[in-house]
Amino acid sequence: MFHTDYEPGTWIPYIMVVSDLLRGVAWPVAIIWIATLFHREIKTLILQIREVGPKGMRIAPSVQSEADSDKITGEKISKLKLEDLKDPVAIQIEDSTRKILKEIPEDEREARLIRALTLSQINKDFMLIYSNIFGSQIRALRTLNSGPISTAEASKYFGALKMEFPVFTSWNIDSYLRYLIHWKLIEQHESEYYITETGRNFLRFIVDNRLSEDRGN
């Protein structure tokens, strides 16, 4: 999706998502709404910055949170204030969007708007997941992407992980996988763990956006 080089782990790819979405679908209300969509993820990442230098930014390992991202609601859209824009960049984007809008057949506009908001919400969730996920959890998803593993295998994997990362000493396999289950990246059926379609899409999101999988822990 992204074509500009950047330091993995920074907030730059999140802004790039907006740009890609605007090239794919246009709608003035969607532009304004999407502009407010990423403030929480950017704030989270800024708080994790520990060092800025010639080679980019160093991001501290995250403390996992299961807080859901804000969802689209009819109330939020209905209360959206369409005030005159003052930011010249925003004005330019909106003017360009209006031109693109005219090229979309009227009977397709609503469907394209709904799809754009759906994809932007998915990307928002994936950004929030990425900002808090551990590198070892990404590797676990990679393993599950090749096939399900038993609870016994998962426990063995986590036992080795605790030896490598003492920070997990007080954790158990359930607390370690809770984050992945909460975000519906994996599921447990009887005595096996499976990756979900959402989990596969999250892995594609990492690859497509060239995000670093070296997240610490």
pTM for the predicted model, two decimal places? 0.65
Residue 2 lies inside a defined structural domain of this protein:
no
Residue 61's pLDDT is 47
Q: Which domain holds residue 156?
A: 135-208
Residue 57's pLDDT is 45
Q: Using 50 as the pLDDT threshold, list the residues of the chain that sit under it.
A: 1-12, 14-15, 22-23, 26, 55-59, 61-62
Residue pair 59/49 in contact by the 8 Å Cβ criterion: yes
Residue 116's pLDDT is 80
- pLDDT tens-digit readout, 135-193: 999 999 999 999 999 999 999 999 999 999 988 999 999 999 999 999 999 999 999 99
Do both 102 and 167 map to the same domain?
no
Do both 57 and 40 map to the same domain?
yes
Residue 39's pLDDT is 53
Residue 44's pLDDT is 55
End-to-end CA distance of the chain: 27
Do both 99 and 119 map to the same domain?
yes
Do both 39 and 75 map to the same domain?
yes
Residue 117's pLDDT is 79
Q: Could you give the CA distance from residue 115 to residue 67 in angstroms, rounded to a whole number?
A: 24
